[in-house]
Amino acid sequence: MVVDVDLEPISLDGEIFTKPVIMAGPCSAETEEQVLNTAIPLAKMGIKIFRAGIWKPRTRPNAFEGVGSVGLQWLQTVKKETGMMVSIEVANVKHVYEALKYGVDILWIGARTSANPFAVQDIADSLRGVNIPVMVKNPINPDVDLWIGAIERINNSGIKQMAAIHRGFSSYDKTLYRNVPQWQVPIELRRRIPEMPIITDPSHICGNREFLYDISQKAMDLNFDGLLIDRQILVNEPHPAFLSDSDSQSRFSHGVHRRA
């Protein structure tokens, strides 16, 4: 059964989201310097949309949980200095208000949040009457209906510019990936909502840098619409451990694009 959602193409500053759209940036915003030094080479590579985590959903307490709202000022600097558009994860109503206040261009709903219909509905309600593109990551479990339900909740609140992000699915078994791609799930989503752009997030599928290229290529072979990539500036050699997802972020070393 095809799902009835009311979509229009994502248009940012009048520019249509053209395929393949590449969004990249650090897993977490950590300092203003790190954010800007990552954004500048990305902008030079022609990447137009910057990503950064401001509030991080961590599995266990006492891990780095993001810098919070101060990072939104750094993203404003990225916009001013590079002309890039900026995107962040929102997981609750406060995040939405803060993101809108600081002029964030695109929001996404993370995998843990899209598994929770109450949380998604609260976010959807807070977006009523707002015109901003929203991307919805797949829930952590491979449940295409739950993913579609989250998309419908946001769409029903009047958000028409949307994309789905495929970031793989958690498993108790040890596998090559941190989150198993289970390509049949996004393919089924495309069958059910043919007009929905699908962006693959190889970084959160892989959990390391080894398979980033293979997963990205596979997404392109499937004619998906783009990629969302954790990418980080390498400030010093030997590299510091980044505060989140240190092993999966592809890296710039001394400003050079290196195969990680």
Note whether 88 binds ligand PEP by CB under 6 A: no
Give the sign of the dihedral formed by CA 102, CA 107, CA 112, CA 113.
positive
Among 25, 110, 197, 226, binds ligand PEP (CB under 6 A): 110
Of 11, 8, 94, 104, nearest in space to 50 by CA: 104
49's contact among ligand PEP, Mn ion, none, with CB below 5 to 8 A by partner kind, is none
Q: Which is nearer to ligand PEP, 89 or 105 (CB)?
A: 89
219's contact among Mn ion, ligand PEP, none, with CB below 5 to 8 A by partner kind, is none
**At residue 207, what is the residue type?**
G
Residue 91 · residue 55 · CB < 8 Å: yes
Q: Measure Cα distances from 30 to 43, 143, 210, 233 in Å.
A: 19, 33, 24, 11
What is the closest distance, in whole angstroms, from the C-beta atom of residue 203 to Mn ion in the complex?
Answer: 6
Note whether 231 binds ligand PEP by CB under 6 A: no
| 137: exposed, middle or buried (Cβ count in 10 Å: 0-12, 13-18, 19+) | buried
Site map 188..227 versus ligand PEP, x via CB under 6 A: -------------x--x-----------------------
Give the DSSP letter of residue 60: S
Q: Which is nearer to Mn ion, 27 or 67 (CB)?
A: 27
Instruction: Point out which residues bind ligand PEP (CB under 6 A).
Output: 27, 53, 57, 89, 110-111, 137, 167, 201, 204
